[in-house]
Amino acid sequence: GDKAFAQFLTDEIKEEKKIQKHKSLPKVSGGWELEVHGTEAKLVRKIAGEKITVTFNINNSIPPSAEDDTQEEQKPDEQEPELTSTPNFVVEVIKDDTKQTLVLDCHYPEDEIGHEGEEESDIFTIREVSFQPTGESDWKDTNYTLNTDSLDWALYDHLMDFLADRGVDNTFADELIELSTALEHQEYIKFLEDLKSFVKCQ
């Protein structure tokens, strides 16, 4: 059984490498520096008096495909639909002269992806906004968190503009999807390789 499993994994790795779009991770335009730690990625950008960081994790970032029930009709030669990774991401804006960090929790709404026709609509939304003490890794639940569900739309628009002024706009969000998808695929191939070594290990 293990032998067959290892052989299957070998073939699978070969296939995945064939369809791998990026041998190295795509860059995000606008002067963002990328740091990757396993499945977590962090983009950092400094502008006058501020540091902006965007953090996301590729785990569970691929939305479940809605086409599960139509699988039978798929013709054998059709390409599988491309998997796209749309992770939630957290934007932190740190101003040099305050002890506060503004934290914006953003995500890609599932129904928005793929509606390129509607130019005005944003491809990501802000879900929550809070202040956190700068430099503390553990965020406090006691800090007020603003949920955007019931927010005045004018305030919401200002928050979106605030992000756009710092380089977090639709173009950025598109490039983040591209980066995340490439990273997810890279990690998946690495996982298959690790699994193969594990299975073959006597």
Give the per-residue pLDDT at 137: 65
Domain ranges of the chain: 1-56+83-109+118-201
pLDDT computed for residue 31 by the predictor: 92
> What string of H, E and C letters represents the secondary structure of the chain?
CHHHHHHHHHHHHHHHHHHCCCCCCCCCCCCCEEEEECCEEEEEEEECCEEEEEEEECCCCCCCCHHHHHHHHCCCCCCCCCCCCCCCEEEEEEECCCCEEEEEEEECCCCCCCCCCCCCCCCCEEEEEEEEECCCCCCCCCCCEEEHHHCCHHHHHHHHHHHHHCCCCHHHHHHHHHHHHHHHHHHHHHHHHHHHHHHHCC
Q: Residue 172 and residue 183: Cα distance in Å, rounded?
A: 16
Residue 133: per-residue pLDDT: 82
* pLDDT computed for residue 134 by the predictor: 79
Among 155, 95, 165, smallest CA distance to 131 is for: 95
pTM equals 0.84
Per-residue pLDDT of the chain (202 residues; tens, 9 = 90+): 889 999 999 999 999 999 988 888 999 999 999 999 999 999 999 998 999 999 999 999 988 765 544 444 444 444 556 789 999 999 999 998 888 899 999 999 976 554 444 455 889 999 999 998 877 666 667 788 999 998 899 999 999 999 999 999 999 999 999 999 999 999 999 999 999 999 987 6
pLDDT of 23:
82
User: What is the CATH architecture of 1-56+83-109+118-201?
Assistant: Roll (3.10)
What is the pLDDT at residue 117?
Answer: 46
